[in-house]
Chains A and B, each alone.
Chain A
Amino acid sequence: MVKMPKPDEEVLAKRDYLIRKLRELVDNPDSVIAEKAGLRAFECDGLSAYRQLPMVAVLPETKEEIAEILKFCKSEKVNVVPRGAGTSLSGGALPLADGVLLGLGKFSRILEVDYDNRCAVVQPGVTNLAITDAVKQDGFYYAPDPSSQIACTIGGNIAENSGGVHCLKYGLTTNNVLGVEMVTMDGDIIRLGGKHLDADGYDLMGVVTGSEGLLGVITEVTVRLLKSPECVSAQLIGFPSSEEAGECVGRIIGAGIIPAGMEMMDRYAIHAAEEFCHAGYPLDVEALLIVELDGPEVEIAHNNELIAQIAGECGATVIKQSQSDEERMTFWAGRKAAFPAVGRISPDYMCMDGTIPRSQLPRVLARMNELSKHYGLRVANVFHAGDGNLHPLILFDANIPGELEKCEQFGADILKLCVEVGGVLTGEHGVGIEKRDLMTEMFSEEDLKQQQRLKCAFDPDGRLNPGKVFPILHRCAELGKMHVHNGELPFPDLPRF
């Protein structure tokens, strides 16, 4: 189990004082929650193996309140954990025993829909789906669509740079955000971007996106809206091996087609999903692709034909084309229910999230099977095949002593393997606490120091979400020191011109 920083006794000792003061800082005294029963609601996020009650929770109503709270916490040396809907799968929103849990739930208004500039301005607690819901009657939508979109907030999406099944064609959160307003730990309210394109000065919005609540508290977001496509269609393509499915994915893209979504499931996931929601998946295949295309009918027909041909050449044994929107939704229902479906056949599961260069898929799957035998834990794979983002679901039973640890170990081995083949620890769920101690697998000491120096510019005391993302927190003073080497050589061997 990952260890959290030791709570600060001095802070705990003044808990009552802090609560009293926090109540003075907010307009509505009910915004401060100090009773155990009330705090339970925030005890964990989507990584539910980790639980911790916060010292106190505050649910502010205005950005000015947030600014005051952060300034106060900074001066009192109190840590702060921002929280949206708490669906993070990496423990990013896990509270701290000595920290203020800052819930953004009350920031739930859509402030403006601006079709002239094709954007919407929303508060951070608005759910991902609510944005699309607000504009769909006019034929628009917000593209990134994490499977948790009914629940997760846009603030959380920014913090995690969330993706979805359509990000192959439409990009991640970072590619669909135009502006954010944010409160820094100093209590400054700053605006990065707006309704225009590109950063003026450094692209701080770019680094804030995906910063897991460590740089500031997001208080407003401007997102890009897109027009919904004319038609959408999906194909189910089954293969006798995942190698062949992987080959097919590469050749589709190589042929110049970027599908709206391209998902893969392995045998175990296919069976679990089919049993759970009868999506009509073939059960005699080792790998199944769902390839979704959108655009005008002529384009879909043209590309579908090409895809069917490629699939055939790659050894597909089943090709099924959705005949209606209803059928297409059924194809997806299985994929989207893969997590709960696996949840039904196993008391617990842990969802991993590495990305690999796609050509490495056979190697990674083979190794994963070996690891599965080694640990005696089963694994089901769902996979954003288009961009190489793997979601192995490791099945375990937390009631069996030692099994959670074994599962974590297995997960860590999978992620190390992803890095070993040229990939990364996390494609969309974030580092949080879950992968914190694996960061050194991917980054050198110096790489990590560079990242922490960015943190120092925003939050030098490390008050925001400490214990997350970085395995070792260097003090900013230490990070700031320069080590100058001798370097007195006036370029003896450099050519001059």
Chain B
Amino acid sequence: MDKYLVENESQIKEALDWALAGGKSLSLAGNSTKESLGRPIQADAELNLSSLSGIELYEPAELVMQAKAGTRLSDIEAVLKQSGQKLAFQPPDYGPLLGGQEGQGTIGGIFSANLSGSERIKAGAARDHLLGVKGFSGRGEAFQTGSRVMKNVTGYDLCKLVCGSYGTIALCTDLTFKVLPKGEKARTILIFGLAEKKAVEVMRNGLSSRHEVSAAAYLPGKIAAETDIDHVSRAQSSVTALRVEGPGPSAEYRCATLRKEFDAEGPQDELHGHNSEKFWKFTSDVRPFLGQGTIWKVSIPPASSPAYIDKVKQACPGIEYYFDWGGGLVWLKVPEEMENGGETFVRNFPDGGHATLIRGNILLRNTISPFQPQDPVMTLLMEKVRAGFDPKGIFNPGRMYAMSGDV
């Protein structure tokens, strides 16, 4: 497959016209860190957008930044840090998880996949922070949607559609997004030795408290032992973690109050500053699951996670797992040899939800649907939506779901 490194919009336009005229298709890539995510695609050429990079606008007092799609997240985060700001949805870095390097992901990639880290539970997902998009439709026409202001209901919110569409709706060249102040101080409360059910209850109580808990995760003992944070690994038991933040006195107050509330639940500890940050990077980037094994990201109503995991454990004793988002996100590592990646039990939700295959070999990704299968009505509707933007299927054909006409 030929790869083309495009450097400006007129080259993109040329490439799209070429594809349209010749019935060709294109795979769209930034730094290709998430190439193995989704259905394997057969495109005639790769359009590489990593050279479209640079921050075009940053106004800290207006909480807004605009950058070209190929701008590295690590560059963006470094600039934001200088003004005490951050991307509040905590974009995860799946690079190492998917067998690549750290720090390679692009802003276009993170929004195209709508990926968010542990802090999503309070701050919202990537999609909640995307304000505007400039790009091309699969008709080869340049268009824009949204704007640079925080509050905008002018026309349909197509940003939401583009976000999480894995490059099957539009080719994005520029993205405008909301940024937020980094809490001055963060504290992570650790409670040791809880079983799943109790842990989910504790996380629920934390998240339903007045303390604006910004992240809540549960690591079984085996996973906790793998962190390189002494306070966590040396406990040799499960860890339930809750994060609070704010100006110094506030973070301390929230932390102390919550700790008192959870006094009876088990032994506690707390993480500050660097260690706290390290912990939530570990959970957000799915660091426990580096190496081998099939990985699923399961989004379910938080209260259903204990029952869900019980069933999964019965079906697959070798399973490894942990909870994020207060139980609303279950990360599963299924042994590689499991038939169909364990899809049958993974997608058996007691109270609704969906599962995405995040890491799976190419055979598996060709056999089962990496994205949650849809009923016929939704399949048709989504395909109509997609085809409206890209009728000839020139962008990442079939990356999410089969296109009409495909098998």
Contact = CB atoms under 8 A, between A and B. Distances in A.
Nearest to B17: A487
B79 interface: no
A298 interface: yes
Contact of B208 (A118, A190, A209, A210): A118
A347 interface: no
B56 interface: no
Contacts of B2: 496
B151 A388 contact: yes
A9 interface: no
A188 interface: yes
Contact of B253 (A168, A251, A299, A495): A299
Contact of A116 (B14, B151, B303): B303
B152 interface: yes
Interface in B151-167: 151-161, 163-165
B378 interface: yes
B157 A228 contact: no
B11 A387 contact: no
B11 A358 contact: no
Contacts of A172: 151
Interface in B249-267: 249-250, 253-254, 257
Interface in A224-264: 227-230, 250-251, 253-254, 256-258
Interface residues of B, number: 109
A197 B301 CA distance: 8
A228 B210 CA distance: 7
Chain A interface size, under 10 / 10 to 19 / 20 to 34 / 35 or more = 35 or more
A316 B198 CA distance: 51
Given A454-B385, A494-B5, A484 B145 contact: no
B156 A454 contact: yes
Contacts of B328: 196-197
Contacts of A357: 59, 62, 64, 148-149
Contact of B377 (A188, A202, A384): A188
A458 B381 contact: yes
Interface string B134-159: 00010111111101111111111111
Contacts of B250: 295-296, 298-299, 302
Mostly helix, strand, loop or mixed at chain B's interface?
A: mixed
A424 B148 CA distance: 9
Given A494-B5, A497-B3, A200 B254 contact: no
A69 B60 CA distance: 50
Interface stretch (A126-134, A145-153, A441-449): A441-449
A413 B180 CA distance: 32
A202 B156 contact: no
A308 B243 CA distance: 29
Which of B20, B121, B388 has the largest number of chain A CB atoms within 10 A?
Answer: B388
A148 to B, nearest CB: 15
B96 interface: no
Interface stretch (A366-374, A392-400, A428-436): A428-436
A454 B385 CA distance: 6
A253 B63 contact: yes
Contacts of B150: 168, 355, 387-388
B151 A496 contact: no
A207 B212 CA distance: 28
Nearest to B129: A175
Contacts of B224: none
B220 to A, nearest CB: 21
Nearest to B401: A201
Given A116-B204, A295-B250, A497 B153 contact: no
B46 to A, nearest CB: 10
Contacts of A358: 61-62
Given A355-B150, A424-B147, A207 B4 contact: no
Nearest to A435: B154
A482 B384 CA distance: 15
A404 interface: no
A451 B17 contact: no
Contacts of B211: 296
A496 B3 contact: yes
Contacts of A439: 154-155
B354 A196 contact: yes
B124 interface: yes
Contacts of B33: none
B344 to A, nearest CB: 17
A49 interface: no
Interface string A276-289: 00000000000000
A204 interface: yes
B120 interface: yes
A489 B21 CA distance: 10
Contacts of A195: 301, 351-352
Interface stretch (A75-83, A103-111, A159-167, A324-332): A159-167
Interface in B206-225: 207-212
Contacts of B391: 480, 482
A309 interface: no
Nearest to B47: A494
B299 A197 contact: yes
Contacts of B384: 456-457
Contact of B154 (A115, A442, A483, A491): A442
A494 to B, nearest CB: 5
Contacts of A430: 153
Which of A117, A358, A389, A423 has the largest number of chain B CB atoms within 10 A?
Answer: A117
22 contacts: A116-B302, A160-B153, A190-B381, A194-B352, A196-B300, A196-B352, A197-B120, A198-B125, A206-B127, A210-B153, A210-B157, A253-B60, A254-B83, A359-B62, A387-B151, A442-B147, A451-B145, A484-B17, A484-B20, A484-B140, A495-B5, A496-B5
Given A197-B120, A251-B61, A483-B139, 13 more contacts: A188-B377, A198-B164, A201-B371, A202-B400, A253-B60, A295-B212, A359-B61, A454-B161, A479-B388, A482-B139, A485-B140, A487-B18, A495-B7
What 5 A-B pairs come out closest when comparing CB atoms? A206-B160, A487-B17, A200-B354, A299-B250, A453-B388
